[in-house]
Structure 1
Amino acid sequence: MATHKQRLETDYLIIGSGASGLLAASRLAPHGSVLLVNKGGIQNSSTWNAQGGIAGVLSDTDSIDSHVRDTLIAGAGLCHEDAVKGIIMHGRKIVQELIEIGTGFDTCNGELHLTREGGHSNRRIAHSRDATGKAIAEALLAKITPQPGIQQLEYHTAIDLITTRRLGHAGDNRCLGAYLLAPDGSVITVTARCTILATGGAGKVYMYTSNPHAATGDGIAMAWRAGCPVMNLEFIQFHPTCLYHREGSNMLLSEALRGEGAHLVDAHGRRFVFDYDTRGEMASRDIVARAIDHEMKKQGVDCMYLDARPIGTETICNHFPNIHERLLQLGLDMTAEPIPVVPAAHYLCGGIQADIHGRTAINGLYAIGETACTGLHGANRLASNSLLECLVMADYCTTDIITSAPPVPAHAPLWDDSGIEPEQERIQIKQNWDEIRATMSHYVGIVRTDERLRRARRRLRVIHEEIDSYYWRHPVSQDLLELRNLELVAELIVMSAQSRHESRGLHYSTDHPATLNEPHDTILMPDF
């Protein structure tokens, strides 16, 4: 059973069309041809779903030093201070550019309306009501759409990177492009001067996540198979307030609600977070998520509650209209009652090891945004630093590419599908998908133990062997590719967690409750 094959050539291949990918495409288009690839539609990205906003030093009462300090505190001693400063210092410039291209940030008396979120000592979050990511994505998309040098391929799934090492060439490992699966089942061989991974995170390794379905860790898995080290994958940020409701299980209740004065309470109306941190609801996300998780376990209940009534109906309707409307559709009114919430996997602080320019261990391969790990977030991301990182890294990355004049890529062979056989049934894919997510949720969640991690590693190893056998015998499909990537990233998360014998930031182990005096990154190296 042969697969139809085609070939494309481009100067710049960008995989992923969230904020990082869109801005990178806009920057590179004047300098060569751009192929922008997304495995779903433009709306199937974490950027599009981002509610809260983008952090930056945007008022005279704030300072770079203050934003840096808040980021370092949230990062629990693991941030790379050079990366923190390098990204934060560009916050005002990036927000100003977004305004110039038409992003509709909220204003008050002609000035940006800035809100505050957990871990921030100042109001520094620029936002567009409670749909900031959508506003940014729409503005960036409007900027790139008329540019003739950009070709967009939606619903195309990256299979693997093409590298000189993969082809058996001697010398330094260089990325030549990637293989893409088209909607009709054909495989496209894309060669490019530079390849940028802007594929987002991996929240779908867990049963409960705020992430869109596309967040299956594709970029991390492809980069690992190609030879890139990964860093700090054990640090999974769980958003404290995901709606606890069967029909809205991936809906977030923005942290900005707590920034404006909403309370976290139990079923009896008691504000419990002050039992865990003097900052109460304004503590960093890891502390608030653990507080909710601990109270749920202690009280034997399924959820806690977010009470937004102290904010007032006018503020709720004016600043959080989308959240309010969505809740009303589900029969919940946050102007009149507390809303049930649980923590859910939200953001991956680790990723492909890269510098703030997105440079990886492979020549010609860049990683930007959530799929990359620069050391900005350390052991815990400060709220709303993510969109900032996405856009600043895209800016740095494209400047590096433009000034480095990358060479024309070598010839890459077409996709080889010899020896495959048709699928007889697909139940194995669904079964393994469900088992991976259940294993990660039960054994590698907010609170971890050595034994839980050992159990997870054993189960994932069995699943890995099943997937590997299936992959090499059957035609590729989006479901199979996502499953393969999901399992690999799950294993890397567990391996990283097993390597950290302390509790720090988002990694909390009851077997190792103390925090070591000397912070260290967890770096895993592919075995070639």
Structure 2
Amino acid sequence: MRVVVVGSGAAGLLTAFRAATRGHDVALVTKADLPESNTRYAQGGVAAVMAEGGPDGDTIDAHVADTLVAGAGLCDADAVRLLCAEGPERVRDLLALGLDLDRVAGPGSDLARGREAAHSAARVLHSHGDATGLSIEIALIDAVRTVPLEVHERTMLRDLVVEPAPCDAAAPHAGAGRRVVGVDVVHADGSSSILRADAVVLATGGAGQLFRHTTNPEVTTGDGVAAALRAGAAVADLEFYQFHPTALAVPGTPLISEAVRGEGAVLRDATGRRFMLDVHPDAELAPRDVVARGIAAAMAAQGGTPVLLDATALGGERLAQRFPGITATLQAHGFDWGTEPVPVTPAAHYWMGGIRTDLSGRTSLPGLFAVGEAACTGVHGANRLASNSLLEALVFGWRAAAAIEDEAWPTTAVGAHVLPTPGHTATVHPAARPAADPGRPGRIAHRVLPPHRGAPHAAAPAVLDRAGLQSLLWEHAGLVRGADGLRHAADVIDGAVRPPRADAFGALEDRNLFELGRALVTAALARTESRGGHARSDFPAPDDAQAASRAWRLPTAALVPATAPATGVLA
């Protein structure tokens, strides 16, 4: 089978490697150079219970429980169980591929384990202190280079190629109507081409560039999610964005890993007070959404200035040994965190929402898979548990590669076409009572209602560039949202014109960001409660009646409800 994998982070690399080792003809497409992805910047680690009943009595059940608690009632329990149960074996696979994880006392000794926020035990594995993502990226790139596959660097996904599906009753998606048969891509020189495939796997990561402050690299523009949405695939949980509590408060907002607080660092306001003690019983080790909003409140109380991350009790020598990369970054910005607290602020970090999938990466469009941050598997719910993202990439990338065989359909019988790009998504009011979705337990779909009109704000500017969009979403769809601000953001996006860009990649990225920003606003307006990574100032409490995921699809220019199983095409 011909398989095209788009994205070269952990999820994409592992899926491509496994598909190639299973005998498939694989093409790996990546927008930048092969190593450039969110994965390489991941400092925290991989959460996995490598041996149950160790010194602290950790168990897979405990990992499951921690994940469910962090997810604030929206996790898919089956997906979480699978993640935690299969995760240790996927880590062993990486070790076999040459991944060098930190150990207690050198080579051959037990794996060193750290504790991070909302984990009940020390189960987070690291590599070279704070370079876990980079180490995984290197190990997987080395593995990819040992198998026969094509690599298309500096090649960007423009759209999915869709054609009518055959009506063979024996086919797994018989009668579904449409099927993804390839990708339409643009190359760095401006040329374009179509890569046909029996299966397409989107591993394009999140969309941190939606926001003015993000820990993500510039390549994270949601290309796969936007393309899937335009093609009519179901997406889910777009309102849930995780803001990492501790990014260094300098231009570029580089991440300071949660593991630093796991080692004992604390947060202080401008007066030196440990304000998180008054916010949550776990203080600095509360779930990320809680800590991020606690920091935001403390910043607001002191005029918007950053709070301080105080790691001085750990000492400079220990910090340099445990966190060499962070130490170097801080030194480059003039900070000696062994002797002084450093200023931090929340920043957009991870999208819990994405392309809706089943437990093997299948989407609602036959022939299309999604893995990693681009996918919404249900494991993260409303708020991701620290260090579960790399684990998800490994577990579900592995499973997707094994499931590709089920997608075997001829893709050369009829000519392919690229679906036209729709206009902006329509704004919708919250539904009075969402209808049950049989596709996954606990999932609900949202009905479409008339668009909003007349938000009480000034007219939108005629031109809105990417920086303007990022500021707009940071202010009105960031850590805390309200109906007026969200409607204002919707009105601005709907009334704005994007300025032209000379570079083809930048123009495509802008299209994706504007479409995804508008979809995020729509989903955030529809959820009239606060839960996990979605906080509404006008609905500050969770609502038990809304304790379920919401799936959406965009077959034309209006956001409409997803009402069929994730493995079928939505009507």
TM above 0.5, yes or no, is yes
Match of residue 96 from structure 2: 100
Matches within 5 A, 1:354-393: 354-393=357-396
Match of residue 208 from structure 1: 213
Asked if the contact 2:367–2:407 (Cα under 8 Å) also holds between the matched residues in 1, the reply is no
Asked if the contact 1:457–1:491 (Cα under 8 Å) also holds between the matched residues in 2, the reply is yes
Matches within 5 A, 1:420-499: 431-463=464-496, 466-467=497-498, 477-499=504-526
**Aligned partners of 1:207, 1:123: CA distance in 2, in Å?**
33
**Aligned partners of 1:406, 1:122: CA distance in 2, in Å?**
46
Question: Do residues 86 (structure 1) and 89 (structure 2) align?
Answer: no
Asked if the contact 2:215–2:349 (Cα under 8 Å) also holds between the matched residues in 1, the reply is yes
Asked if the contact 1:354–1:360 (Cα under 8 Å) also holds between the matched residues in 2, the reply is yes
Shift of residue 408 of structure 1?
A: 4.1
**Deviation per CA, 1:249-279, whole angstroms, max 9, x where unpaired?**
2310100000000011112221111111011
Secondary structure, counterpart of 1:300 in structure 2: coil
Match of residue 286 from structure 1: 289
Match of residue 131 from structure 2: 131
**Aligned partners of 1:252, 1:409: CA distance in 2, in Å?**
46
Asked if the contact 1:429–1:480 (Cα under 8 Å) also holds between the matched residues in 2, the reply is no
Which one of 244, 265, 270 corresponds to residue 268 of structure 2? 265
Asked if the contact 1:189–1:415 (Cα under 8 Å) also holds between the matched residues in 2, the reply is no
Matches within 5 A, 1:302-321: 302-321=305-324
AA in 2 matched with 1:83: A
AA in 2 matched with 1:447: V
Question: For this pair of structures, how many residues does the alignment match?
Answer: 499
Shift of residue 178 of structure 1?
A: 0.8
**Aligned partners of 1:429, 1:141: CA distance in 2, in Å?**
44
Structure 1 segments unaligned to the other structure (5+ residues): 1-9, 418-427
Matches within 5 A, 1:13-412: 13-30=4-21, 31-59=23-51, 60=54, 61-109=57-105, 110-128=109-127, 129-148=129-148, 150-164=149-163, 172-246=177-251, 249-402=252-405, 404-412=407-415
Asked if the contact 2:308–2:341 (Cα under 8 Å) also holds between the matched residues in 1, the reply is yes
**Aligned partners of 1:82, 1:70: CA distance in 2, in Å?**
14
Secondary structure, counterpart of 1:253 in structure 2: coil
TM-score where L is the length of structure 1: 0.91
Shift of residue 80 of structure 1?
A: 0.7
Secondary structure, counterpart of 1:278 in structure 2: coil
Asked if the contact 2:162–2:419 (Cα under 8 Å) also holds between the matched residues in 1, the reply is no
Asked if the contact 1:160–1:222 (Cα under 8 Å) also holds between the matched residues in 2, the reply is yes
AA in 1 matched with 2:519: L
Secondary structure, counterpart of 2:195 in structure 1: strand
AA in 1 matched with 2:158: I
Moved more, 326-335 or 340-349: 326-335
Identical-residue share of aligned pairs (%)? 41
Shift of residue 525 of structure 1?
A: 2.3
**Aligned partners of 1:216, 1:489: CA distance in 2, in Å?**
9
Asked if the contact 1:74–1:119 (Cα under 8 Å) also holds between the matched residues in 2, the reply is yes
**Aligned partners of 1:125, 1:319: CA distance in 2, in Å?**
14
Asked if the contact 2:161–2:419 (Cα under 8 Å) also holds between the matched residues in 1, the reply is no
**Aligned partners of 1:121, 1:429: CA distance in 2, in Å?**
51
AA in 2 matched with 1:68: V
Judging by fraction of residues, say which structure has more helix. 1
TM-score where L is the length of structure 2: 0.84
AA in 1 matched with 2:92: Q
Match of residue 421 from structure 1: none
AA in 1 matched with 2:184: Y
Which one of 504, 520, 523 corresponds to residue 551 of structure 2? 523
**Aligned partners of 1:429, 1:145: CA distance in 2, in Å?**
48
- 1:313 to 1:436, Cα distance in 2 relative to 1, 3 A: same
Secondary structure, counterpart of 2:88 in structure 1: helix
Match of residue 527 from structure 2: 500
**Deviation per CA, 1:16-59, whole angstroms, max 9, x where unpaired?**
00001100111111312111010011232110110010111124
Asked if the contact 2:235–2:356 (Cα under 8 Å) also holds between the matched residues in 1, the reply is yes
Asked if the contact 2:159–2:418 (Cα under 8 Å) also holds between the matched residues in 1, the reply is no
Shift of residue 431 of structure 1?
A: 4.6
- 1:113 to 1:410, Cα distance in 2 relative to 1, 3 A: farther
**Aligned partners of 1:281, 1:400: CA distance in 2, in Å?**
40
AA in 2 matched with 1:450: A
AA in 1 matched with 2:66: D
Asked if the contact 2:162–2:417 (Cα under 8 Å) also holds between the matched residues in 1, the reply is no
Asked if the contact 1:75–1:505 (Cα under 8 Å) also holds between the matched residues in 2, the reply is yes
